[in-house]
Structures are given as structure tokens and as C-alpha cells.
Structure 1
Amino acid sequence: MGLEITDLQSGYGNIEVLHKISLAVDDGDYVAVVGANGAGKTTLLKSISGTVRAKGGSIVFNGNDLLARPAHKVPQLLIAHVPEGRQIFPELSVYDNLMAGAWLVKDKDQRAQTLGEVYDLFPRLKERSGQMAGTLSGGEQQMVAVGRALMLRPKLIMLDEPSQGLAPKLVTEMYQQLAEVHGLGTSVLLVEQNTTAALKYAKRAYVMEQGRITMSGSSEELRGSEEIRKAYLGI
């Protein structure tokens, strides 16, 4: 089933940021939403996770109406949100940050198994498990943020600008790790200004401009679009 968004209107106070947005993320899909800063991408993810309340339209995940749920109950549907800027707990250890993502998982064996899988995906986090997260590099902190989300064993993981502030080598490494996560069956919804990276790894993509979807298609189609190449790929 997956995620289905129809005519979503959302914003802050009297300011409407999203103007009747419609998009879908099928079960097992890998979808990117690309666009310039201020296009409304972050507001989209916050509206799905419930931290910004929608003003109209619908958001349905696997048959569940997300607009009827408070934000703290959205993760119960196994939706994980990696926010912009990472928002890890700097004064807690890497281990404690990761375990914070497993607050809904009651089975100790399952938590231990998932932690092992996260350490396999991000070996540096295992090496630094006892280190305070605030002392890590930017790339390592991004790994903590993604690893924390994976501790939920999500059906859908949403990532807000995961390449932000990372060196090109680390961006490639991060996206390869996300490809592994997707390969295990997790649906991915990614928002990015780094259009080149997003279109390289995502299967499908939507282009957002000023709170509206202006173009959509397979990533291959969008990479071949002259308009996209000029506006976002610098070609």
C-alpha cells in the first residue's frame, strides 16, 4: 500500500506553505522530492510526521489516516523521520542516541539484533559507541541520526537533506548505505537540494517549487529533462 498524499495543504499559522500537494510512495519504493531551499520540502516531511498540522487534504499510510493521529503516535506505524540538521543528543553517547530510536521496541532481543544491524551498516558507530555524540564529525553525526531512525525497524524512513554539510566522499558513502537500507525492503522518502545525488539513487522523484509539485517521473526521465539539467544539475 504505502504512503498516499492527496491535495495536502499545510503551513505555519496563517501562512500556507504547501498548496494541494499530491504524491505517493509505494511499499518498497525509493522516492526523492527535490527543489531549492524554501520550496516546502521540510514542511512536507513535518506534515507527514505530524509536527506540522495540515490544513487540508489527506495523508494515508497503509490505510491509516495520519491526520487523525498526534505526532507522538505516528512512529507506532513504523514511520521514522531523520530531521534536517540531525538533531541528535550531543551529550549522550552514540549507543544511547541509537537506543533512543528504539523506544517503541519492547523486545530486548529484537533491540539487540537491530543494533547489530546498524553497527554492521555503520561500523564507525560501533567503534565510537561510548563516545559523546556531540564530539563526532558531521558525517558521523549523520550516521547516528540515520541509525537512530533504523532502530525502529521502520517500514518508511523519511530523510531531510541527509547530505547537508557533508564532503562529497561522505555524501557518496551515505547514499550507498541508504541504498543498502532500501535493498532490505524499507521504503525511502528523501528530500534534497542535492539533486544530482537524489536522482542517482532514487527510483522516482518529484520536483517541488514554491509549495507545489511542478514535475514528476522516474529519476532517469528527470535526469534527461533539459529543464532539470539547467535548473538543478548545472548542465
Structure 2
Amino acid sequence: ELKEVSNQPQFFWLRDFKNFTVDESLTFEEKMDVFLRDPVFMELYSEDIVRDESGKVLSSRTRLSMDNVEPDDVKSQVDALLAQRKVGESQPANKGQSDWLFFTFEGRYYIWEFYSVSPGELTLSTVLGVVAVTSIGTLFIPHWSAFFFVGPLISILYIDLLGVLQFAGIKINAVSYISLVMSIGLMIDFLVHVLLRYYESTEKTREAKVKDMLRTIGASILIGGISTFLGVIPLAFCSSEIFNTIFVTFMGLVTLGIG
């Protein structure tokens, strides 16, 4: 049973067929012919039953209402997806079948499936992204110690960006997922330029290197960050949640990257 479905289907051809009075001497196919010749049942189920030329039922469908699934509760939706899948797996008709014969389908399943796999996929994408930019950054920055700056700092910036999205009330969805993964490549830009200029500086002391970096590449990074910020400001006035998510993400990564 599915606890997400509280009531029987309003219209179900097999239930009505069993209650339909017909000559018991007829075969199943002949009974179906009589059943579907009834104008009421023909109107209700003509599009829900597929039969071959001999009258054999090839496929059929009925409509269920998952009325116990909260529309704003992701956990409730994921639980419903997994529960209906478990019911399908337990059906004898599906045993040993790569393509199930008995199953439920709803267009929202695609979204619910995304919700179910996105935490693991986002974690994997984040780890791979951080490892990739750390490795590549270490190759191009002319000092081995760069590894100990790139990896930890990009991880801190990414966690801070997650906090910005949480503070703004943005949940993980398709747009925020893409924005978060993309932000790793954008935030590393700020970090690598600063480190590269620091290590290339000809000054003798660390303090002098920092000042030299701020005088040269620091101003360029600041201008680049401000121009990016100004470029996404119009998105703040959009009523679309998609553009609003992009705005918050870019505002967060630019502010954190410059900082």
C-alpha cells in the first residue's frame, strides 16, 4: 500500500468490469467487448485500455491521486517516489523484468528524482570541482605552497556561499545546483590571480609582496568584481525565481571573492 494515496481511484476499469453483469459463458475477450460497448464505460475507459485485434488487453491505465504528498515538502515528495518504486518492485509481474509491466508514472517524478539524487550529486560535483581547481591552480602557480592556500580557501569560500544562499532562503534546485557548481570556477579566478601575483612579486618581504600585489593586480580584481556585480544588479528586480537565484549567487561569490 501507498500511504500517500488515501482513496481508491474514482474510475478504475477493472473494478467496474468485475461488477459488470455479463454472461459467464463468454470468454474474457468477449466480456470485454460487451463491457466496452456500454456507452458509459466506452466514454470512461476507451482511452485507458489498449487491445489487439483478437481483443486481448495489451496495456491499461488508471489514475491515482497522491493526496497525502505535501506540495512544498521535498522530503515528502522523495518519500512518495521511493514508496511507489518499492510497490512496483514487489509486484509479481515485474519479477525478472528489466522494463516493468506494472508501474506508476507522473511528470513530477522527474523533479522528485532530481530532489532524491541532488544531495549526493552536488557533493560529488563539489569535491571533484575543488580537487580539479586546486590541482590545476597548483600547476600554474610557481610555488609548491600554493596547494595549501588554494584548496582550503576555495573550500571556505564555497561553504560561505552555501551560507549566503541559506540566509537568502534559497533551497537546492536545478538553478541553484548549476550556480553552485559554476561558482567554484568563478571564485577560483579571484584567488589564483592574487596568489600568482604574490609569488611573482620581486619584493623581498611578505609584507612588501602583499602591498605590491594590492597595488597591481588587486585594483584589477576589484574593478572586475564590481563590474560583475553591477552587471547582475538588474536581475534583483526580476520577479522570476530563476533570475533571483542567479543574482543572489553572483552577489555572494563576487562579494566573497573580492573579500
TM-score by length of 1: 0.24
User: Quick check: which one's helix share is greater?
Assistant: 2
The structure number with the bigger radius of gyration is: 2
If the length of structure 2 is used for normalisation, what is the TM-score? 0.23
Higher relative contact order (CA 8 A, sep 6+): 1
Bigger strand fraction: 1
